[in-house]
Amino acid sequence: MVNLIQQTNKHMSLRECGGLAKIASKYKSSIVVMNNKNSANAKSMLNVVQLCINANQTLLININGEDEQFAYNDIKKFLREL
């Protein structure tokens, strides 16, 4: 299991949530995004949108599976480029 803690630079709109879901869907690993007390399956754009991720919010992303390190690297890169 790999945990990624990342602070967002801006509000995640539908476009950004869709981008995260698209990246997460490429991997077999389970990927869960958490903010505050809520969590969502990162492979579902609608679930991520429901988190209402705002600017300067800290996200915890749990990645668990056979390709977790590759998923970690891609998601980390994506979030830093927002």
- pLDDT tens, residue by residue, 35-69: 988 999 999 999 999 999 999 999 999 999 999 99
Which structural domain, as residue segments, surrounds residue 76? 2-80
23-62 in b/e form (b: 16+ CB < 10 A) is bbeebebbbbbbbeeeebebbebebbbebebeeebebebb
pTM, entire model: 0.94
Percent of the chain predicted with pLDDT > 70: 100
pLDDT at 58: 93
pLDDT at 37: 87
Residue 20 confidence (pLDDT) above 90: yes
- Total domains, the chain: 1
Q: What is the CATH number of the domain that holds 35?
A: 3.30.1340.10
Q: Please identify which residue in the block is written with the tokens 């579902």.
A: 44
